Structure 1
Amino acid sequence: MLSPPASDPSNDRVSDEAANWCMRVNEPDFTEQERDQLHRWLSSDPAHQREYDAMLEIWTISEFLPADAPAHIAPAPAPRRTYKRPLMAAAALVLALPLAGLLGWQLNLIPDSYQRFESGSSVRDITLADGSHVQMNLGSQLSFANFKDRRSVTLGKGEAYFEVQHDASHPFLVNAGKGQVRVTGTHFNVWTYEDQVVVTLTQGSVQVMGNRNQPDQLAYLSPGMQARYDARSLVPDVSAASANEVLAWRDGKLILDDIPLSEALPQINRYLDKPIHLGDRATNQLRIGGIYNTRNISGLVQALPKVLPVYLSRNDEGETVISSKPRYVK
């Protein structure tokens, strides 16, 4: 069964307190005074916030907490008072978790394993608990939960290439944006950017759902096909795709095949700390091509005026703007 979040072995008390607050904050008689005390407890030590966030994450996965359970508590202007933590509540939690976990597993509510990964500034290769292999692009985040009736991945940010361990009775689901990819065993790439999601299949077959609330609106992909959807989509748009271009990131490269700047921008922005913007319509259709190092995309941006009739400037947020005419900032 899924274990409580890891904490410093010398400070199990923090885990107990975090578990108690998770219980207390969702009870109907939770007071403003207690909310203020919780805020002070969270802000007194970064370890308190980390443990509370981890506990909430596990409880949210189990679906025993409301979907809108607060992960961060803001201070509330209310009279302060001392609140004694009820020891019986913590004891009840310790006794209830194993039983709840067993019941939750049988009801397909609680996973028996949970993993969370971030790739940071380098491509990362990981193996999930079910034996599936994943390669994560720069700056990506994903989590994996193994339920009795399904394997569930959430790609919260970035891009990943999946080589899924085949299990026809235990489907593999990737949640990205508002949609979902469903497979039993295959190879495919998922890229997220803002509210856009692009799924490219290299082997096997997948079902792509543009909106999880519309499970009957599916797109079926075969190798060499790509599905694209965003927050407004019901049915994903399907087209042919070049696997070499899509998967070039695995070799540290970005391939732009003579495409408009408006299409290139999302691919460029995923490798920048601050996004670049197009300043006018004239720049939208300017075309760009070439093969670039994903670790030096900022160099590509600075070189644009040398290869295209554009000018670079900064907006009030310090972000780069590409325009067809010089922009003068006051």
Structure 2
Amino acid sequence: WLAASSPLGLWPELGALGADYRTATGERRELEIQGVTVAMGTRTRLRRSDDHARGLQLSQGEAQFALPAWARRGFEIQVEGARVTLDPGARVNVRCVGGDVRVTCLAGTAALARGARTVVLQQGWQARLDGARIASVGEVPTERVDAWRHGWLMFDDQPLSEVVEEINRYRTGRIVIADSTLSQRRVQARISLQRIDTFIDLVRDAYGARVVSMPGDVVLLG
């Protein structure tokens, strides 16, 4: 079990070893793949398409894909059984973290197909996937979606429990909330990825939380 799962993010998980491209905890990478600019967020795994088509599979994490406007054909991203086809000039953010699967169009247009349904995403539109279906499609504030590319995490009235889950993806060790009431407190914050642990100070100062630091970068909030 320890080989297959890294609970504190201290080593690559077993599934990451089969990826063609991957990032470690806190790491971000930008690279060119098949003529497409790919920005990879933390703990992200990408594989080349099994059928040798022009595209990639995102199995875990978050990444952005930008296809140049002069490209002669589209580019396909596979995620959780869905296909995202970028039109020339499109830039798309794809997130697959646990059960949270979202596709956000940041520029141009892209087609999302899941089962028998296909939707065309315009700039500023996001689709969420749930199981075997496209669960919802709607406009979103793209600044928050795009923030990690610029070294920030932005939270807008989200429960502290959700915020901690996202923070934990970017730091070694783990932040654990030991108080169920505290976990439901709402958070409005902008956190620098270069100073990720300032979030702990924010929780202590804003909510009067007790902070206990433990070995292995484990922090208890209560």
TM-score after normalising by structure 1:
0.52
Contact 1:135/1:160, CA 8 A, preserved across alignment: yes
Contact 1:259/1:289, CA 8 A, preserved across alignment: yes
Secondary structure, counterpart of 2:39 in structure 1: strand
Q: Which residue of 1 aligns with 2:127?
A: 227
* Distance in 1 of aligned mates of 2:117 and 2:175: 34
Gaps of 5+ in 2: 1-16
Secondary structure, counterpart of 1:235 in structure 2: strand
| Aligned residue type for 1:243 | T
Judging changes above 3 Å, is the alpha-carbon distance between structure 1 residues 321 and 234 closer, same or farther for their aligned structure 2 residues? farther
The reply to whether residue 188 of structure 1 matches residue 92 of structure 2 is yes
Q: Which residue of 1 aligns with 2:188?
A: 289
Match of 2:62 among 159, 166, 170: 159
Q: Which has the higher contact order (CA 8 A, sep 6+)?
A: 2
Judging changes above 3 Å, is the alpha-carbon distance between structure 1 residues 134 and 278 closer, same or farther for their aligned structure 2 residues? same
Percent sequence identity over aligned pairs: 24
Contact 1:164/1:172, CA 8 A, preserved across alignment: yes
The reply to whether residue 141 of structure 1 matches residue 45 of structure 2 is yes
Kindly state the Cα deviation for residue 132 of structure 1 after the two structures are TM-superposed.
0.9
Q: Name whichever structure is richer in helix by fraction.
A: 1
The reply to whether residue 176 of structure 1 matches residue 79 of structure 2 is yes
* Distance in 1 of aligned mates of 2:134 and 2:184: 27
Kindly state the Cα deviation for residue 189 of structure 1 after the two structures are TM-superposed.
0.7
- The CA RMSD over aligned residues, in Å, is 3.1
Kindly state the Cα deviation for residue 151 of structure 1 after the two structures are TM-superposed.
1.8
Kindly state the Cα deviation for residue 223 of structure 1 after the two structures are TM-superposed.
0.8
Q: Which residue of 2 aligns with 1:298?
A: 197
Contact 1:158/1:270, CA 8 A, preserved across alignment: no
The reply to whether residue 132 of structure 1 matches residue 36 of structure 2 is yes
Q: Which residue of 2 aligns with 1:85?
A: none
Aligned residue pair count: 201
| Aligned residue type for 2:184 | Q
Contact 1:193/1:266, CA 8 A, preserved across alignment: no
Q: Which residue of 2 aligns with 1:77?
A: none
* Distance in 1 of aligned mates of 2:97 and 2:61: 7
Kindly state the Cα deviation for residue 122 of structure 1 after the two structures are TM-superposed.
3.5
Question: Residue by residue, what CA displacement relative to the aligned partner does 1:102-157 show, whole Å, maximum 9, x if unpaired?
Answer: xxxxxxxxxxxxx922333432111112x111111233221234957x42211233
Deviates more, 1:300-309 or 1:248-257: 300-309
Gaps of 5+ in 1: 1-53, 58-114, 324-330
Q: Name whichever structure is richer in strand by fraction.
A: 2
The reply to whether residue 276 of structure 1 matches residue 180 of structure 2 is no
* Distance in 2 of aligned mates of 1:178 and 1:147: 14
* Distance in 2 of aligned mates of 1:284 and 1:177: 29
Secondary structure, counterpart of 2:20 in structure 1: strand
| Aligned residue type for 1:266 | E
